[in-house]
Chains A and B, each alone.
Chain A
Amino acid sequence: MNQDKDIHDELQGIAPHLSRIEKVEPFEVPASYFEEFPARVRDIIALKEAKPETGWLGQWIPRYSYIAASLCFLLIVGGFLVVKNTGTPSAIVAASQQTKATPNDEYVIEHVDEDVLMEPLPAANQETQATKVKQETPAVKNHTSNVSEQYILENVEESTITEEL
């Protein structure tokens, strides 16, 4: 091992005992290790670089599979959002249609005095019209409609009805 004079002098100034120890590589190495090492490294690198041959199909499939997976994800998310968004207005429309007064009801509201209207109705029908319509089952709805028609026939003059029609 070559002794650089400056380095030796520096060490002598710091650690005189240490500077007097002979510099040798302290460990043993297996025989012909350095002769064989370059070939061994070459083999390892060659092994690392030898990837499995996938061909043109193998090169394209992974790329397309990523795109397909991304599209599927977007479709699912998009579909979910569309269903969610379109579901809300239709529910509102359905609800508004439910609460919308029938032509007969409108006529009663316009032409019949409120006091007269409230008096003969059964106690069950004394709730507000909107609430009543929301909770109405088809059977109740039919019943209400019949009651209204009957009431019109009994209390409204025929000439008024004809005029309106």
Chain B
Amino acid sequence: MSDEEIILHFKSTDTRSYAFNLLVRKYQQKLYWLLRRMVVDHDDADDLLQNVWIKVWQNLENFKAESQLYTWLYRISVNEALSHLDKKKRRFFLPLGDVEAELGNKIDTGNTISGDELQIKLQKAILKLPEKQRVVFQLRYYDEMPYEQMSKVLDTSVGALKASYHHAAKKIEAFIVGTD
């Protein structure tokens, strides 16, 4: 079922739950992985994913088809992840480096990450990026999102996003090559 059809079903009270269930099943994995890569911890990602879907339930009725549903869902998720990291910094008066170190420790504990050494290095390199650059890199590298769509998600110009991705990829490359 297309997103438009799901929205139509959602707007009818009889089929609302059915449409919502379809929507969750369709996008839960993509949104989960976006959140998980941002916050590393599964429980945090799970909490954020729940918040995202609660917001979708509360606001989908007023969703205007000016943007794609997929873009809107990503936008909500990115905002949730960034505000979670921001709260974490403010709650513990932590500088950005400490949050990055905390997330890096979670990667080091081993039982939360699968894959080989190179994958662990890659994740640590991604964590070294500034938060917004990290979002840009992940949307492009993992989600293979076109810049035009990313521009709508992040409310940033295509040129700025290209530059941001370029810098991010260069930094990660340097980290991987340097620590190899």
**Which residues of A does B touch, CB under 8 Å?**
1-4, 7, 11, 14-18, 21, 23-30, 33-34, 37-38, 40-42, 44-45, 48
Cβ of B149 within 8 Å of any chain A Cβ, yes or no, is no
| 16 intermolecular pairs with C-beta atoms under 8 Å apart | A4-B144, A7-B144, A15-B170, A17-B180, A18-B122, A18-B169, A18-B176, A25-B33, A26-B37, A26-B119, A27-B37, A29-B36, A38-B24, A38-B28, A42-B21, A44-B54
Q: Which of B108-126 contact A (CB under 8 A)?
A: 111-115, 118-120, 122-123
Known: A23-B141, A38-B21, A41-B50. Contact between A30 and B173, CB under 8 A? no
How far, in angstroms, from A2 to B112 measured CA to CA in the complex?
Answer: 24
The answer on a CB contact under 8 Å between A28 and B113 is yes
The answer on a CB contact under 8 Å between A48 and B141 is no
Give the number of residue pairs across the A-B interface with Cβ within 8 Å.
Answer: 91
How far, in angstroms, from A54 to B28 measured CA to CA in the complex?
Answer: 36
Q: Is the interface of B mostly helix, strand, loop or mixed?
A: helix
Chain A nearest Cβ from B124, distance in angstroms: 10
Known: A27-B40, A28-B113. Contact between A34 and B32, CB under 8 A? yes
Cβ of B17 within 8 Å of any chain A Cβ, yes or no, is yes
Map CB proximity to A onto B99-112 as digits: 1 under 8 Å, 0 otherwise.
00000000000011
Cβ of B166 within 8 Å of any chain A Cβ, yes or no, is yes
Closest to A39 in B: B21
The answer on a CB contact under 8 Å between A7 and B57 is no
The answer on a CB contact under 8 Å between B122 and A37 is no
The answer on a CB contact under 8 Å between B24 and A41 is yes
Chain B residues whose C-beta falls within 8 Å of the C-beta of A48 in the assembled complex: 54
The answer on a CB contact under 8 Å between A37 and B173 is no
Chain B residues whose C-beta falls within 8 Å of the C-beta of A7 in the assembled complex: 140-141, 144
Known: A4-B144, A14-B170, A34-B29. Contact between A26 and B123, CB under 8 A? yes
Chain B residues whose C-beta falls within 8 Å of the C-beta of A25 in the assembled complex: 33, 114, 142
Chain B nearest Cβ from A84, distance in angstroms: 48
Cβ of B25 within 8 Å of any chain A Cβ, yes or no, is yes
Closest to A35 in B: B25
Chain A residues whose C-beta falls within 8 Å of the C-beta of B54 in the assembled complex: 41, 44-45, 48
The answer on a CB contact under 8 Å between B172 and A15 is yes
The answer on a CB contact under 8 Å between B173 and A14 is yes
The answer on a CB contact under 8 Å between B112 and A28 is yes
How far, in angstroms, from A160 to B138 measured CA to CA in the complex?
Answer: 116
Q: Which of B19-57 contact A (CB under 8 A)?
A: 20-21, 24-25, 28-29, 32-33, 36-37, 40, 42, 46, 49-50, 53-54, 57
The answer on a CB contact under 8 Å between B50 and A38 is no
The answer on a CB contact under 8 Å between A2 and B144 is yes
The answer on a CB contact under 8 Å between A29 and B42 is yes
How far, in angstroms, from A37 to B21 measured CA to CA in the complex?
Answer: 10
The answer on a CB contact under 8 Å between A27 and B17 is no
Greatest chain B CB density within 10 A among A27, A42, A45 is at A27
